[in-house]
Amino acid sequence: MPRNLVCLSACHILWACVPTSDEGTPCSLIRKDESGRAVPLLERELPAGKDVLSFGSAECAEWVCVREERPPTGSGDSVAVGHCSRPCSVASGCNSVDPAVPLSCRELVLDSRTLAVICASSSEDCLRLGGSGSRFCAAPAAH
């Protein structure tokens, strides 16, 4: 009986150690259209020289897709691609599922319009974002 218990405990420990994060997994950036529906964000719609946070990405466990400041990829009419992210704290750190996408917990600033929309739709998300910006798992800032 004790040997079965040890085996069962080891199985639970191994199962619990399997990564459940999707940080770093590719995802499509989305935006809301005039009617409030989620539609793909296109490369030509990305602001130049800015990080982009896309909330509501069904491809990501935390519903957050991030695109760090970088030149466009593909044609202007192609769907903009980022990677799955999540809110984080410096203490919790970030773990990318893809070693080619190193992530760190850093502040991404939200513009006032975006923050107002988030706060109007969800007081919980507004509080989580801390009013002016929040930390998300993202590639280190390019300087």
- The 10s digit of each residue's pLDDT in 42-74 is 998 888 778 888 888 889 988 889 998 876 676
Tokens of 139: 């590639």
For residue 134, give its domain range.
Answer: 21-138
Q: Is residue 31 part of a domain?
A: yes
Residue 45 domain flag:
yes
Q: Give the gyration radius of the chain's Cα atoms.
A: 18
Q: Is position 1 within any domain?
A: no
In a domain, residue 7? The reply is: no
16 lies in some domain: no
Inside any domain, residue 5: no
The whole-number pLDDT of residue 74 equals 67
3-state helix, strand, coil in the chain (%, to 5): 25, 25, 50
Q: For residue 47, is it left (φ>0), alpha (ψ between -120 and 50) or beta? A: beta
Domain-embedded: residue 12: no
**Does 85 or 6 have the greater pLDDT score?**
85
Task: With a cut of 50, say whether residue 6 has pLDDT above it.
Answer: no
pLDDT (0 to 100) of residue 20? 57
pLDDT for the residue numbered 142: 66
User: Is the residue at 77 inside a domain?
Assistant: yes
The pLDDT, as a whole number, for residue 28 is 93
Mean pLDDT on 4-23: 45
pTM for the model: 0.69
What pLDDT, on a 0 to 100 scale, did the predictor assign at position 27? 93
Structurally, the chain folds into a number of domains equal to 1
Report residue 28: phi and psi, to 5°. Answer: -90, 135
Q: Supply the pLDDT for residue 120.
A: 81
